[in-house]
Amino acid sequence: DQQVKQNSPSLSVQEGRISILNCDYTNSMFDYFLWYKKYPAEGPTFLISISSIKDKNEDGRFTVFLNKSAKHLSLHIVPSQPGDSAVYFCAASSNRDDKIIFGKGTRLHILP
Amino acid sequence: ETGVTQSPTHLIKTRGQQVTLRCSSQSGHNTVSWYQQALGQGPQFIFQYYREEENGRGNFPPRFSGLQFPNYSSELNVNALELDDSALYLCASSLDRSDTQYFGPGTRLTVL
């Protein structure tokens, strides 16, 4: 049973436009959410996180939105750049616990 | 500051054999977590070590075991290898148990 779901395996976005990656979760005990970015042959790199007491967190071109009632979060990248092409993993944990539960990832392609 | 490193990069084993994977934590980090990433999936939590003690475990059988050393480096041992153990094994270190986890590049294990 997948507790963190990324329903889009891939997404293509024009360079300069907004990329929106979506993530849904089922476990209402989750209170901390993260996005990781992964290039081939590298480990996941931490991108941005959000605590359940907030509904938005911004860091430069990256913004994460959390809708607790819908159990949904999204990552917005504006403007999208070629270096943003990678696999993006949504992840969640409860009480910032030991275990982080990852989604299957979304492959983002930034088109020139 | 040195990041998280893992060795070896690649490894090929046969069914029934045993394997040891190694991880060096980022400087100053006392917590290490291990994940298994099968093809097309997100990383799955195996276990976490905090100050040399196991601090949480995912749904993996006892043939997956680990160690953390006084310098906070770590080992993942897998006994009686099965074909389904073929995956990318990632370790991640964090400053403390509930802090952001930083991943190494992974060890790709192939079981024939």
Over residues A27-62, the pLDDT tens digits come to 999 999 999 999 988 899 999 999 999 999 999 999
Dihedrals phi, psi of B40, to nearest 5 degrees: 80, 5
Identify whether the C-beta of residue A105 lies closer than 8 Å to the C-beta of residue A87: yes
User: From CA B91, how far away is CA B106, in angstroms rounded?
Assistant: 7
What is the pLDDT of chain A when averaged over all its residues?
94
Q: How far is A104 from chain B (nearest CA, A)?
A: 4
Residue of A nearest to B10 (CA): A41
Which pLDDT value is given to residue B1? 54
Q: Does B8 touch chain A (CB under 8 A)?
A: no
Q: How far is B17 from chain A (nearest CA, A)?
A: 25
Chain A CB contacts of B33 below 8 Å: 98, 100
Q: Does B66 touch chain A (CB under 8 A)?
A: no
Residue B102 has pLDDT above 60, yes or no: yes
Mutate which of A3, A51, A93, A100 to disrupt the B interface (most B C-beta within 10 Å)?
A100
Q: How far is A43 from chain B (nearest CA, A)?
A: 4
Chain B CB contacts of A41 below 8 Å: 105
pLDDT in tens, B18-54: 999 999 998 889 999 999 999 989 999 999 999 999 9
Is the peptide bond preceding residue B8 cis, with omega within 30 degrees of 0?
yes
Residue A1 has pLDDT above 80, yes or no: no
- What kind and span of H or E run contains A96? none
Sheet bearing A72-77, strands edge to edge: A4-5, A19-25, A72-77, A62-67, A56-59
Q: Does B90 touch chain A (CB under 8 A)?
A: yes
Cβ within 8 Å, pair B101-A100: yes
Q: How far is A8 from chain B (nearest CA, A)?
A: 13
Identify whether the C-beta of residue B19 lies closer than 8 Å to the C-beta of residue B78: yes
